[in-house]
Amino acid sequence: MPSDFDKDAYPEPPRQTPVVDKKTALPNPALILSKLFYYSVDLPVTTFREVVESIQAKNKSVYYHQKFRRVPDLTQCEYGDYLCYYEAEMQWRRDYKVDQEIVKVIQERLRACQQREGHSYKQNCSKEIEQFDEVSKNYTSRYGDLGAYASGRKCLMKQKERMMEAAQKQND
Amino acid sequence: MVGMSLLRSVAAIAARLTPVKSGNAATNLLVRTIPRTEKVAVRWGHGKKMFVIKPTEFYDKRFLRLLQFYILLTGIPVAIIVTSVNLFIGEAELVETPEGYEPEHWEYYKHPITRWITRNVFDSPVKDYEKMMAAIQIEKEKADMRLAQLEVRRHMRRRGDGPWFQIETLDKNLIDSSPKATPDN
Protein backbone atom coordinates (compact mmCIF):
# COMPACT_ATOMS: atom_id res chain seq x y z
CA MET A 1 0.00 0.00 0.00
CA PRO A 2 1.41 3.47 -0.74
CA SER A 3 2.64 5.31 2.31
CA ASP A 4 1.42 8.73 3.32
CA PHE A 5 3.14 11.70 1.70
CA ASP A 6 5.86 13.72 3.40
CA LYS A 7 3.99 16.26 5.51
CA ASP A 8 6.91 18.71 5.62
CA ALA A 9 7.28 18.87 1.85
CA TYR A 10 3.62 19.58 1.20
CA PRO A 11 2.46 21.68 4.14
CA GLU A 12 -1.25 22.10 4.58
CA PRO A 13 -2.59 25.60 5.24
CA PRO A 14 -3.97 26.17 8.77
CA ARG A 15 -7.56 25.06 9.18
CA GLN A 16 -10.13 27.81 9.19
CA THR A 17 -13.28 25.95 10.29
CA PRO A 18 -15.48 28.38 12.20
CA VAL A 19 -16.87 27.63 15.65
CA VAL A 20 -20.30 25.97 15.42
CA ASP A 21 -22.97 28.53 16.34
CA LYS A 22 -26.37 26.98 15.72
CA LYS A 23 -29.13 29.51 15.36
CA THR A 24 -31.89 27.16 14.14
CA ALA A 25 -33.36 23.98 15.53
CA LEU A 26 -33.27 22.26 12.13
CA PRO A 27 -30.75 19.46 11.71
CA ASN A 28 -27.62 20.25 9.74
CA PRO A 29 -27.70 18.23 6.48
CA ALA A 30 -23.93 18.45 6.05
CA LEU A 31 -23.48 16.87 9.47
CA ILE A 32 -25.98 14.14 8.63
CA LEU A 33 -24.28 13.36 5.34
CA SER A 34 -20.84 13.32 6.86
CA LYS A 35 -22.00 10.95 9.62
CA LEU A 36 -23.67 8.75 6.99
CA PHE A 37 -20.49 8.62 4.97
CA TYR A 38 -18.49 7.85 8.07
CA TYR A 39 -20.62 4.92 9.18
CA SER A 40 -21.24 3.44 5.75
CA VAL A 41 -17.81 3.84 4.13
CA ASP A 42 -15.11 5.09 6.46
CA LEU A 43 -15.69 2.78 9.42
CA PRO A 44 -15.94 -0.53 7.49
CA VAL A 45 -12.88 0.33 5.41
CA THR A 46 -10.84 1.33 8.46
CA THR A 47 -11.80 -1.80 10.41
CA PHE A 48 -10.96 -4.01 7.43
CA ARG A 49 -7.60 -2.31 7.10
CA GLU A 50 -6.88 -2.78 10.81
CA VAL A 51 -7.82 -6.48 10.62
CA VAL A 52 -5.56 -6.99 7.63
CA GLU A 53 -2.71 -5.12 9.30
CA SER A 54 -3.01 -7.20 12.45
CA ILE A 55 -2.69 -10.35 10.34
CA GLN A 56 0.22 -8.90 8.40
CA ALA A 57 2.03 -7.78 11.54
CA LYS A 58 3.00 -11.38 12.26
CA ASN A 59 4.97 -11.83 9.01
CA LYS A 60 6.58 -8.43 8.83
CA SER A 61 9.70 -8.08 6.69
CA VAL A 62 11.94 -5.18 5.84
CA TYR A 63 13.71 -3.95 2.78
CA TYR A 64 16.73 -1.70 2.41
CA HIS A 65 17.91 0.97 0.05
CA GLN A 66 20.80 -0.23 -2.07
CA LYS A 67 23.80 2.05 -2.20
CA PHE A 68 26.25 1.53 -5.05
CA ARG A 69 29.95 2.29 -4.89
CA ARG A 70 31.25 4.97 -7.23
CA VAL A 71 33.45 3.58 -10.01
CA PRO A 72 35.72 5.46 -12.44
CA ASP A 73 33.88 7.49 -15.04
CA LEU A 74 34.02 7.06 -18.81
CA THR A 75 36.54 9.89 -18.99
CA GLN A 76 38.83 8.11 -16.53
CA CYS A 77 38.92 4.81 -18.43
CA GLU A 78 41.90 3.74 -20.51
CA TYR A 79 41.32 3.30 -24.22
CA GLY A 80 40.20 -0.25 -24.97
CA ASP A 81 39.46 -1.14 -21.34
CA TYR A 82 36.04 -2.60 -22.04
CA LEU A 83 35.44 -3.64 -18.44
CA CYS A 84 35.93 -0.06 -17.30
CA TYR A 85 33.57 1.05 -20.08
CA TYR A 86 30.92 -1.39 -18.85
CA GLU A 87 31.15 -0.29 -15.23
CA ALA A 88 31.05 3.39 -16.21
CA GLU A 89 28.03 2.72 -18.43
CA MET A 90 26.15 0.98 -15.61
CA GLN A 91 26.93 3.83 -13.26
CA TRP A 92 25.73 6.34 -15.83
CA ARG A 93 22.47 4.43 -16.23
CA ARG A 94 21.88 4.41 -12.48
CA ASP A 95 22.55 8.15 -12.36
CA TYR A 96 20.14 8.67 -15.28
CA LYS A 97 17.41 6.85 -13.35
CA VAL A 98 18.14 8.91 -10.23
CA ASP A 99 17.91 12.13 -12.22
CA GLN A 100 14.58 11.06 -13.70
CA GLU A 101 13.24 10.43 -10.20
CA ILE A 102 14.51 13.82 -9.03
CA VAL A 103 12.61 15.52 -11.85
CA LYS A 104 9.50 13.52 -10.94
CA VAL A 105 9.73 14.65 -7.29
CA ILE A 106 10.03 18.31 -8.29
CA GLN A 107 7.09 17.92 -10.68
CA GLU A 108 5.04 16.33 -7.90
CA ARG A 109 5.82 19.27 -5.61
CA LEU A 110 4.69 21.75 -8.23
CA ARG A 111 1.52 19.79 -8.88
CA ALA A 112 0.73 19.60 -5.17
CA CYS A 113 1.33 23.31 -4.79
CA GLN A 114 -0.98 24.10 -7.69
CA GLN A 115 -3.67 21.85 -6.26
CA ARG A 116 -3.35 23.53 -2.87
CA GLU A 117 -3.39 27.12 -4.05
CA GLY A 118 -6.11 26.82 -6.68
CA HIS A 119 -6.43 29.76 -9.04
CA SER A 120 -3.74 31.87 -7.41
CA TYR A 121 -0.97 29.32 -8.00
CA LYS A 122 1.08 31.50 -10.34
CA GLN A 123 1.72 33.92 -7.52
CA ASN A 124 1.90 31.70 -4.45
CA CYS A 125 3.98 28.86 -5.84
CA SER A 126 6.71 30.98 -7.38
CA LYS A 127 9.46 29.12 -5.49
CA GLU A 128 8.27 25.72 -6.73
CA ILE A 129 7.89 27.06 -10.26
CA GLU A 130 11.41 28.44 -10.22
CA GLN A 131 12.81 25.20 -8.85
CA PHE A 132 10.99 23.18 -11.49
CA ASP A 133 12.16 25.46 -14.29
CA GLU A 134 15.77 25.18 -13.23
CA VAL A 135 15.67 21.41 -12.76
CA SER A 136 13.95 20.74 -16.08
CA LYS A 137 16.32 23.08 -17.92
CA ASN A 138 19.32 21.27 -16.47
CA TYR A 139 17.80 17.89 -17.25
CA THR A 140 17.11 18.75 -20.88
CA SER A 141 20.55 20.24 -21.34
CA ARG A 142 22.15 17.09 -19.98
CA TYR A 143 19.90 14.24 -21.16
CA GLY A 144 17.65 16.10 -23.56
CA ASP A 145 17.55 14.47 -27.00
CA LEU A 146 19.57 11.37 -26.32
CA GLY A 147 16.63 9.14 -27.20
CA ALA A 148 15.81 5.55 -26.29
CA TYR A 149 19.29 4.16 -26.99
CA ALA A 150 20.96 6.71 -24.73
CA SER A 151 24.34 5.73 -23.39
CA GLY A 152 27.10 7.28 -21.33
CA ARG A 153 29.16 7.78 -24.50
CA LYS A 154 26.41 9.75 -26.24
CA CYS A 155 25.84 11.85 -23.13
CA LEU A 156 29.57 12.60 -23.01
CA MET A 157 29.52 13.66 -26.65
CA LYS A 158 26.54 15.91 -25.92
CA GLN A 159 28.51 17.46 -23.08
CA LYS A 160 31.43 18.00 -25.43
CA GLU A 161 29.12 19.80 -27.87
CA ARG A 162 27.83 21.97 -25.05
CA MET A 163 31.33 22.86 -23.96
CA MET A 164 32.32 23.64 -27.54
CA GLU A 165 29.32 25.95 -27.90
CA ALA A 166 30.17 27.68 -24.65
CA ALA A 167 33.78 28.14 -25.75
CA GLN A 168 32.56 29.45 -29.15
CA LYS A 169 30.28 31.92 -27.46
CA GLN A 170 33.07 33.05 -25.20
CA ASN A 171 35.39 33.62 -28.12
CA ASP A 172 32.87 35.74 -30.00
CA MET B 1 -35.23 -28.73 -2.62
CA VAL B 2 -36.28 -31.24 -0.04
CA GLY B 3 -39.10 -28.89 0.96
CA MET B 4 -40.33 -28.76 -2.62
CA SER B 5 -40.57 -32.54 -2.97
CA LEU B 6 -42.29 -32.71 0.41
CA LEU B 7 -44.77 -30.13 -0.77
CA ARG B 8 -45.35 -32.07 -3.96
CA SER B 9 -45.90 -35.32 -2.10
CA VAL B 10 -48.36 -33.59 0.27
CA ALA B 11 -50.19 -32.15 -2.71
CA ALA B 12 -50.38 -35.57 -4.37
CA ILE B 13 -51.82 -37.09 -1.21
CA ALA B 14 -54.31 -34.21 -0.92
CA ALA B 15 -55.32 -34.69 -4.54
CA ARG B 16 -55.97 -38.36 -3.99
CA LEU B 17 -57.97 -37.83 -0.83
CA THR B 18 -60.14 -34.94 -2.01
CA PRO B 19 -61.93 -35.63 -5.31
CA VAL B 20 -60.63 -33.27 -7.95
CA LYS B 21 -63.05 -30.83 -9.46
CA SER B 22 -62.25 -28.63 -12.42
CA GLY B 23 -62.27 -25.38 -10.52
CA ASN B 24 -59.98 -26.46 -7.72
CA ALA B 25 -57.43 -23.67 -7.99
CA ALA B 26 -55.26 -24.63 -5.00
CA THR B 27 -54.19 -27.99 -6.36
CA ASN B 28 -53.80 -26.85 -9.97
CA LEU B 29 -50.15 -25.99 -9.52
CA LEU B 30 -48.89 -29.06 -7.68
CA VAL B 31 -50.84 -32.02 -9.01
CA ARG B 32 -49.16 -34.20 -11.57
CA THR B 33 -51.01 -37.47 -11.02
CA ILE B 34 -54.37 -36.48 -12.48
CA PRO B 35 -54.24 -34.95 -15.95
CA ARG B 36 -57.23 -32.85 -16.87
CA THR B 37 -58.08 -31.99 -20.38
CA GLU B 38 -60.78 -29.36 -19.96
CA LYS B 39 -58.80 -26.46 -18.58
CA VAL B 40 -55.06 -26.73 -18.94
CA ALA B 41 -52.91 -23.96 -17.48
CA VAL B 42 -51.00 -22.37 -20.34
CA ARG B 43 -48.03 -20.25 -19.45
CA TRP B 44 -46.51 -17.64 -21.76
CA GLY B 45 -49.33 -18.57 -23.97
CA HIS B 46 -49.97 -15.40 -25.96
CA GLY B 47 -48.57 -14.33 -29.29
CA LYS B 48 -48.13 -16.22 -32.51
CA LYS B 49 -45.88 -19.26 -32.25
CA MET B 50 -42.74 -18.79 -34.32
CA PHE B 51 -40.11 -21.25 -35.43
CA VAL B 52 -37.02 -19.04 -35.32
CA ILE B 53 -34.45 -19.97 -37.91
CA LYS B 54 -31.02 -18.57 -37.09
CA PRO B 55 -27.48 -19.68 -37.81
CA THR B 56 -25.89 -22.08 -35.38
CA GLU B 57 -24.39 -20.62 -32.24
CA PHE B 58 -22.84 -23.92 -31.26
CA TYR B 59 -19.32 -23.22 -32.42
CA ASP B 60 -19.22 -19.67 -31.06
CA LYS B 61 -20.61 -20.71 -27.71
CA ARG B 62 -18.21 -23.61 -27.55
CA PHE B 63 -15.27 -21.34 -28.27
CA LEU B 64 -16.30 -18.87 -25.58
CA ARG B 65 -16.92 -21.67 -23.12
CA LEU B 66 -13.51 -23.21 -23.74
CA LEU B 67 -11.84 -19.78 -23.61
CA GLN B 68 -13.42 -19.07 -20.26
CA PHE B 69 -12.45 -22.50 -18.99
CA TYR B 70 -8.80 -22.31 -19.98
CA ILE B 71 -8.41 -18.74 -18.78
CA LEU B 72 -9.95 -19.49 -15.41
CA LEU B 73 -8.04 -22.75 -15.06
CA THR B 74 -4.89 -20.85 -14.14
CA GLY B 75 -6.52 -17.46 -13.58
CA ILE B 76 -8.41 -18.45 -10.45
CA PRO B 77 -5.46 -20.08 -8.64
CA VAL B 78 -3.24 -17.12 -9.52
CA ALA B 79 -5.86 -14.68 -8.28
CA ILE B 80 -6.28 -16.64 -5.04
CA ILE B 81 -2.52 -16.83 -4.47
CA VAL B 82 -1.93 -13.15 -5.16
CA THR B 83 -4.85 -12.05 -2.99
CA SER B 84 -3.79 -14.23 -0.10
CA VAL B 85 -0.19 -13.05 -0.35
CA ASN B 86 -1.29 -9.43 -0.32
CA LEU B 87 -3.67 -10.00 2.60
CA PHE B 88 -1.70 -12.31 4.83
CA ILE B 89 1.90 -11.45 4.00
CA GLY B 90 2.15 -7.72 3.69
CA GLU B 91 4.68 -5.66 1.81
CA ALA B 92 8.01 -4.92 3.43
CA GLU B 93 8.87 -1.67 5.19
CA LEU B 94 11.80 0.54 4.26
CA VAL B 95 14.39 0.77 7.02
CA GLU B 96 17.92 2.09 7.26
CA THR B 97 20.63 -0.48 6.62
CA PRO B 98 22.09 -1.42 10.00
CA GLU B 99 25.83 -0.90 10.51
CA GLY B 100 28.08 -3.67 9.28
CA TYR B 101 25.19 -5.68 7.80
CA GLU B 102 25.24 -6.68 4.15
CA PRO B 103 21.64 -7.36 3.08
CA GLU B 104 20.97 -10.33 0.78
CA HIS B 105 20.06 -9.35 -2.76
CA TRP B 106 16.37 -10.14 -2.29
CA GLU B 107 16.11 -7.87 0.71
CA TYR B 108 16.22 -4.85 -1.57
CA TYR B 109 12.70 -5.44 -2.91
CA LYS B 110 9.33 -4.52 -1.43
CA HIS B 111 6.65 -6.94 -2.61
CA PRO B 112 6.82 -10.49 -1.17
CA ILE B 113 6.29 -12.17 -4.55
CA THR B 114 9.13 -10.13 -6.10
CA ARG B 115 11.32 -11.10 -3.16
CA TRP B 116 10.48 -14.76 -3.64
CA ILE B 117 11.20 -14.62 -7.37
CA THR B 118 14.54 -12.88 -6.94
CA ARG B 119 15.47 -15.28 -4.18
CA ASN B 120 14.52 -18.57 -5.84
CA VAL B 121 14.37 -18.00 -9.60
CA PHE B 122 16.77 -15.27 -10.64
CA ASP B 123 20.48 -14.89 -10.06
CA SER B 124 21.52 -12.00 -7.87
CA PRO B 125 22.27 -8.72 -9.69
CA VAL B 126 25.89 -8.96 -8.53
CA LYS B 127 26.18 -12.36 -10.18
CA ASP B 128 24.59 -11.03 -13.39
CA TYR B 129 27.02 -8.12 -13.39
CA GLU B 130 29.97 -10.48 -12.94
CA LYS B 131 28.64 -12.77 -15.69
CA MET B 132 28.46 -9.81 -18.05
CA MET B 133 31.96 -8.70 -17.06
CA ALA B 134 33.25 -12.23 -17.66
CA ALA B 135 31.67 -12.28 -21.11
CA ILE B 136 33.22 -8.89 -21.90
CA GLN B 137 36.60 -10.13 -20.67
CA ILE B 138 36.42 -13.22 -22.89
CA GLU B 139 35.45 -11.14 -25.91
CA LYS B 140 38.22 -8.64 -25.17
CA GLU B 141 40.78 -11.44 -24.99
CA LYS B 142 39.48 -12.89 -28.25
CA ALA B 143 39.73 -9.50 -29.96
CA ASP B 144 43.25 -8.95 -28.59
CA MET B 145 44.32 -12.37 -29.75
CA ARG B 146 42.95 -11.75 -33.24
CA LEU B 147 44.79 -8.44 -33.48
CA ALA B 148 47.98 -10.07 -32.25
CA GLN B 149 47.57 -12.88 -34.77
CA LEU B 150 47.23 -10.40 -37.62
CA GLU B 151 50.30 -8.53 -36.40
CA VAL B 152 52.38 -11.72 -36.18
CA ARG B 153 51.18 -12.84 -39.61
CA ARG B 154 52.20 -9.50 -41.05
CA HIS B 155 55.67 -9.76 -39.50
CA MET B 156 56.20 -13.30 -40.73
CA ARG B 157 55.09 -12.50 -44.24
CA ARG B 158 57.32 -9.46 -44.36
CA ARG B 159 60.35 -11.41 -43.23
CA GLY B 160 59.34 -14.28 -45.44
CA ASP B 161 60.11 -16.68 -42.68
CA GLY B 162 58.25 -18.12 -39.75
CA PRO B 163 56.15 -21.09 -38.74
CA TRP B 164 53.15 -19.61 -40.53
CA PHE B 165 54.76 -18.52 -43.74
CA GLN B 166 57.50 -20.00 -45.84
CA ILE B 167 58.66 -19.08 -49.31
CA GLU B 168 58.97 -22.29 -51.23
CA THR B 169 62.47 -23.03 -52.56
CA LEU B 170 63.68 -25.86 -54.71
CA ASP B 171 64.14 -29.26 -53.20
CA LYS B 172 67.78 -29.76 -52.15
CA ASN B 173 67.81 -33.25 -53.60
CA LEU B 174 67.56 -31.72 -57.07
CA ILE B 175 70.90 -30.05 -56.62
CA ASP B 176 73.61 -32.01 -58.39
CA SER B 177 76.67 -31.71 -56.20
CA SER B 178 78.83 -34.11 -58.14
CA PRO B 179 82.10 -32.53 -59.36
CA LYS B 180 81.66 -30.69 -62.68
CA ALA B 181 84.01 -30.39 -65.66
CA THR B 182 84.16 -26.58 -65.59
CA PRO B 183 84.21 -24.49 -62.37
CA ASP B 184 81.34 -22.10 -63.35
CA ASN B 185 78.35 -24.46 -63.62
Is A2 a residue whose pLDDT tops 70? no
DSSP letters spanning chain A:
-PPPP-TTTSPPPPP-PPPP---SSS--HHHHHHHHHIIIIIHHHHHHHHHHHHHHGGG--EE----PPP---STTSPTT-HHHHHHHHHHHHHHHHHHHHHHHHHHHHHHHHHHHHGGGHHHHTHHHHHHHHHHHHHHHHHHTT--TT--HHHHHHHHHHHHHHHHHHHH-
Residue A54: closest CA among chain B residues belongs to which residue? B88
pLDDT in tens, B115-133: 999 999 999 999 999 999 9
CB–CB contact B97 A64 (8 Å): yes
pLDDT in tens, B37-81: 677 777 777 888 889 999 999 999 999 999 999 999 999 999 999
Q: Which residues contact B148 (CB under 8 A, 6 or more apart)?
A: none
CB–CB contact A64 B112 (8 Å): no
Q: Which residues contact B92 (CB under 8 A, 6 or more apart)?
A: A60, A61, A62, A63, B109, B110, B111, B112, B115
Q: Is the ipTM of this complex over 0.85?
A: no
For residues B3-17, average pLDDT: 69
Partners of residue B95 in chain A, C-beta under 8 Å? 62-64
What is residue A156's predicted lDDT score, i.e. its pLDDT? 96
Is B32 a residue whose pLDDT tops 80? no
Residue B181 confidence class, pLDDT cut points 50, 70, 90: very high
Global pTM value: 0.71
Residues in A lying within 8 Å of B, measured between beta carbons: 1, 52-53, 55-56, 59-67, 80, 82-83, 86-87, 90
Q: Which residues contact B161 (CB under 8 A, 6 or more apart)?
A: B167
pLDDT in tens, A149-169: 999 999 999 999 999 999 999
Is B3 a residue whose pLDDT tops 60? no
Average pLDDT, rounded, for chain B: 86
